[in-house]
Structure 1
Amino acid sequence: AKTHQQHCGLFSCSCHVLQESLLSSASGYSNYRGILNWCVVMLVLSNARLFLENIIKYGILVDPIQVVSLFLKDPYSWPAACLIIVSNVFILAALYIERRLSVGTISEWTGWILHIFNLTSMLIFPSATVLAVTSMTPVGGVVSLGVYTVLFLKLYSYQDTNRWCREIRQAKAKTLTRSYSCKCSNGSAVHTNVSYPGNLTHRDMYYFVFAPTLCYQLNFPRSPRIRKRFLMRRLFEMVRGNTPWMVPTIQNSMKPFQVPESLFPPLLSFPLPSQVPNHLIWLIFFYWFFHSTMNFVAELLQFGDREFYKDWWNSESVTYFWANWNIPVHKWCLRHFYKPMMKKGINKFMAQMAVFLVSAFFHEYLVSVPLKMFRLWAFMGMMAQVPLAWFVGRFLNGNYGNAAVWISLIIGQPVAVLMYVHDYYVIHYGTTK
């Protein structure tokens, strides 16, 4: 009887274990790498099939001559490159103004006026050049104005930070020293100390100009060495092939401008086929610029701060998206625009509106001037984010808010592109009826 009870106990125990293994994850398998590899293989095979079908149907669509023509109308005229080289005049002007201020040969008021003149010229001079020079292509104009906009933000931060240093030096009557440390990948820390005005050198200025940040500081976090394998991976990502199968969709989306049978359906048919290629191009540009290019430059300069973006794809509100998809610009706005306005007693809503106004201005500046069309579509699109942010934050939460953010990204951009493409097409290639 005792033996029978023991057998029954073992049997019930084995049944209990079997039941647990059937009803739970007691098997212990937590590695799903095979399923992920299956997804990757299926994705590669499906895209390879799509690539081959488009090659057979459309042929080679990426013409190197057409790519070069986006930047140059005349192979012997390089206006965009010359305009970027001239930007060194404004960079050196900011450095020499700060040097005069550091030794007291000019007053703070005079230095502020000179900085305002230098910064204002950085916006007026390139835009006037882009509008006046006929050999400047729209793409070349966007690139050159983009460089000047980045330099404008950098030099504003440069003069602002050095002014803070002088104020603290005057308050404490001694040299200001700032020390920063950076935890590197190998666990070590790099310490660098630079004292004001010892930072006012050509080397320091041009390091800041090329560093992937918009906010200046006396000592940037630095990495101990350049990782060659990491550098080569980022370089490969920067130069690898693009997506030529987007070209037929974009070309077909121009047919509504050429077929004037009806007006309302073509206006709706343009954004719909252009949503996917437009959004994919935006995502590819984001990855190429914010991940590959900025990490490549940071690694080359041993720049330690690599927080260029956060998980904006999980945004449950429009505000979270704008604060996390472009960290360098967000930090600049907080440090040099939003917080100074708050310290002056301006309420939070007005300060946020001012930030959106400045952002809308630069978006319109970068689009309208190179295209030589002042339609304010980019400006109005940016300002439309304010009521959208309020609506999403008030009525939508969680996954619904995230879906609203993605809808605004996938649908909103093609509509804005429609406005500019429509006007540009009408002006340069004919009129629609």
Structure 2
Amino acid sequence: MIKVYNPELLISDAQDKLTQLVRDDFKPFILRCEQHKLCVLENENLILFSVLFDKCQPIIDEALLTITLVSQKNESKIIAIKFADKKGMSYLQHYINSRKTYTKYMGPLAYQPVRKERTSLLSTESPEQNFRGILNLAILILIANHIRLIFENFQKYGLLITNVFWKFEMVQINGNPIMQALLVLIINLLSGFGIQYLQFKRDFNPRFIRIFNITNIALTIILPCYLIQGSHPGLNLILLGVQFIVFMKLISYAHFLRNTYFYIQRIKQVQNKKVSLDNFFAEYEVNGENLKILEKYAQNQSRILDFQHYLYFLAAPTLCFQLSYLRTNSIRKVWLIKRIIEYIFVILFLLIIWFQYTEPLVENTYKMLTKAPTLMVLADRLLKLAIPNTYMWIALFYGQFQCFLNITAELLRFADREFYKDWWNCKNLEEYWRLWNLPVHHWLVRHIYFPCLKSGMSRTTSNLIVFLVSALGHEYIVSASIGVIEAWAFVGMFAQAPFMLMQKKLEKLLKLQDSQLGNLMFWMTFCFIGQPIMIFVYYFRYLEKIGHPI
């Protein structure tokens, strides 16, 4: 029994009969299936019309025993077929299912591979580039190679990780230089708040306050460095890192509140005038949020000092003091536990890499270069050191910026956790220093770069001063930790400033702004040349200082 709905999609030589079928209801006909079409026969020999399977799709209703063929384009009905029993219905279902398999075939005239303009995937202009498989292969090669190095190292040196257990002498606090240095830092931090107390609550002369701040900040650098001499360089390095963070936070606290004090005095002078404070302060001096806070505390300026907020700033993963910080709603306990576990594994990884690979390699290099100092030996040892050094550097970055700072931020519900950007994609050194350590970058911009611009210096001169401060900081931490005075870290850092200026001009000249060559050069100079040389130089000086036997 067949009902025709859309005769335009039927193939027939007798359109008058099709017209009659459209007007009438279901009528009995004979069905015959072929590969491409369903044929409806008026009798056993005469085909009334055909339906192409390619032009339609079936809707099967087993309860009513009907199969409706609808158009693939607009899903309008073509014909409906009603069966007397399931046997006849199964006959048509079988051919429909067979047709689904058959339509997977494409003939030579249908399958046309050359159909549009395209580029090869490995070409730089290709819009689709996914090298995940190559990355997986590279990871497998690295794993296989390093498993071999692990066996080789163990056969040569045995298990050296036991050297991690240093002997601490903490019987008396006065007899321990590390504890003495930490005690000095605590006193400096308390003094930093006390100095602001004198300024905001006792209205001390700003000149004396400035002298107190400079003295306190200078002692933060000088005293701990003097006290820790003779301690283990690893402990010294950690202590000096903490010390420099305290140093930078005290500068930020003093600088911010000095400006706050003078802005409050200006507010007091104009507050009685019926004019908005926005007319007396430029946006680059005070933003709208801070201006409202200053206006609120102008009549009682001592209320702006909050010891609890000061402690929060000291613990927070930022180096820049603010009157308020964005906070999250709650602490994610599961997330926090994951970061803590990651941090523990990073520390263990660093200890293994240093004691099992880096330290014996550097000591052997010291012996080799002392006996036969040749360029080939140095190049070979640099390449050997480059791999564990790169692992240590990346692990240090991940442990400090992804684990430790996020752990601190989660515990304090500190909301802004952009501690770094995608420095691994940087095209030059300028991008790297701008992206890899955002807390230090923001501090340098806020407390060094902008004050230099305010004093009338050019941008180039201001950038050079920023690099000078950064170079002095790196040299101080490295040299003071091992107790020797060198200048290699300072030269290596400060020399990057003119090098970056030349690099930018060269990129414009050769049109390499979008090239990956800069990224390759960054990794090569930083991981395979610069850092290994610095490790050799400073560790050799440390071995000479302690009289290491050759």
Q: TM (normalized to structure 1)? A: 0.82
User: What are the residue-to-residue correspondences of 1:353-432 with 2, within 5 Å?
Assistant: 353-396=464-507, 397=512, 398-410=515-527, 411-430=529-548
Identity in percent: 27
Moved more, 215-224 or 14-23: 14-23
Q: Which has the higher contact order (CA 8 A, sep 6+)?
A: 1
- Count of aligned positions: 407
Alpha-carbon distance change, 16 to 46 in structure 1, aligned in 2, over 3 angstroms: farther
Alpha-carbon distance change, 16 to 293 in structure 1, aligned in 2, over 3 angstroms: farther
Gaps of 5+ in 1: 25-29, 181-192
2:62 corresponding residue in structure 1: none
- The CA distance in 2 between the partners of 1:150 and 1:128, in whole Å, is 17
2:165 corresponding residue in structure 1: 68
- The CA distance in 2 between the partners of 1:255 and 1:56, in whole Å, is 15
Give 1:83 deviation, angstroms: 1.5
User: What are the residue-to-residue correspondences of 1:191-230 with 2, within 5 Å?
Assistant: 197-230=302-335
Moved more, 257-266 or 394-403: 257-266
Contact 2:184 2:223 in 1 (8 A): no
User: What are the residue-to-residue correspondences of 1:187-336 with 2, within 5 Å?
Assistant: 197-240=302-345, 241-242=348-349, 244=352, 247-248=356-357, 250-259=359-368, 260-265=370-375, 266-336=377-447
- The CA distance in 2 between the partners of 1:21 and 1:224, in whole Å, is 57
Give 1:37 deviation, angstroms: 11
User: What are the residue-to-residue correspondences of 1:66-215 with 2, within 5 Å?
Assistant: 66-69=163-166, 72=167, 74=169, 76=171, 78-131=176-229, 134=230, 136-173=231-268, 179=289, 197-215=302-320
Q: What per-residue deviation string (whole Å, max 9, x for no partner) do you get for residues 199-221 of structure 1?
A: 42321111111100000001011
Contact 1:178 1:194 in 2 (8 A): no
Q: What amino acid is aligned across from residue 359 of structure 1 in structure 2?
A: S
- The CA distance in 1 between the partners of 2:432 and 2:258, in whole Å, is 32
- The CA distance in 1 between the partners of 2:136 and 2:386, in whole Å, is 28
Alpha-carbon distance change, 45 to 286 in structure 1, aligned in 2, over 3 angstroms: closer
Alpha-carbon distance change, 48 to 273 in structure 1, aligned in 2, over 3 angstroms: closer
The structure with the largest alpha-carbon Rg is 2
Higher-helix-fraction structure:
1
- The CA distance in 2 between the partners of 1:428 and 1:285, in whole Å, is 27
Q: What per-residue deviation string (whole Å, max 9, x for no partner) do you get for residues 116-138 of structure 1?
A: 1111111111112123xx3x221
- The CA distance in 2 between the partners of 1:294 and 1:288, in whole Å, is 8
- Secondary structure of the residue aligned to 2:161 is coil
Alpha-carbon distance change, 119 to 222 in structure 1, aligned in 2, over 3 angstroms: same
Contact 2:357 2:388 in 1 (8 A): no
Alpha-carbon distance change, 275 to 168 in structure 1, aligned in 2, over 3 angstroms: same
Give 1:89 deviation, angstroms: 0.9
Moved more, 53-62 or 332-341: 53-62
Contact 1:225 1:302 in 2 (8 A): yes
Moved more, 107-116 or 164-173: 164-173
- The CA distance in 1 between the partners of 2:371 and 2:139, in whole Å, is 45
Contact 2:178 2:227 in 1 (8 A): no
Give 1:225 deviation, angstroms: 0.5
Give 1:50 deviation, angstroms: 4.8
Give 1:235 deviation, angstroms: 0.2
Give 1:52 deviation, angstroms: 6.7
Alpha-carbon distance change, 99 to 14 in structure 1, aligned in 2, over 3 angstroms: farther
- The CA distance in 2 between the partners of 1:22 and 1:249, in whole Å, is 56
Give 1:271 deviation, angstroms: 1.8
Contact 2:358 2:389 in 1 (8 A): no
1:27 corresponding residue in structure 2: none
Q: What amino acid is aligned across from residue 201 of structure 1 in structure 2?
A: D
- The CA distance in 1 between the partners of 2:365 and 2:140, in whole Å, is 35
- The CA distance in 2 between the partners of 1:81 and 1:194, in whole Å, is 42
Q: What per-residue deviation string (whole Å, max 9, x for no partner) do you get for residues 18-65 of structure 1?
A: 4469989xxxxx9x99969976994897489458736863543311xx
Give 1:162 deviation, angstroms: 1.3
- The CA distance in 2 between the partners of 1:49 and 1:212, in whole Å, is 37
Contact 2:474 2:490 in 1 (8 A): yes
Contact 2:362 2:539 in 1 (8 A): no
Moved more, 44-53 or 77-86: 44-53
Contact 1:356 1:382 in 2 (8 A): yes
- The CA distance in 2 between the partners of 1:293 and 1:269, in whole Å, is 35
Contact 2:340 2:407 in 1 (8 A): yes
Q: What amino acid is aligned across from residue 313 of structure 2 in structure 1?
A: F
Alpha-carbon distance change, 161 to 78 in structure 1, aligned in 2, over 3 angstroms: same
1:187 corresponding residue in structure 2: none
- The CA distance in 1 between the partners of 2:386 and 2:357, in whole Å, is 13
Give 1:268 deviation, angstroms: 3.3
Alpha-carbon distance change, 50 to 349 in structure 1, aligned in 2, over 3 angstroms: same
Alpha-carbon distance change, 113 to 315 in structure 1, aligned in 2, over 3 angstroms: same
Moved more, 269-278 or 221-230: 269-278
Q: What amino acid is aligned across from residue 90 of structure 1 in structure 2?
A: N
Q: What amino acid is aligned across from residue 161 of structure 2 in structure 1?
A: V
- Secondary structure of the residue aligned to 1:125 is helix
- Secondary structure of the residue aligned to 1:297 is helix
- The CA distance in 1 between the partners of 2:109 and 2:430, in whole Å, is 52
- Secondary structure of the residue aligned to 1:198 is helix
- The CA distance in 2 between the partners of 1:222 and 1:17, in whole Å, is 61
1:190 corresponding residue in structure 2: none
Q: TM (normalized to structure 2)? A: 0.66
Contact 1:234 1:292 in 2 (8 A): yes
2:61 corresponding residue in structure 1: none
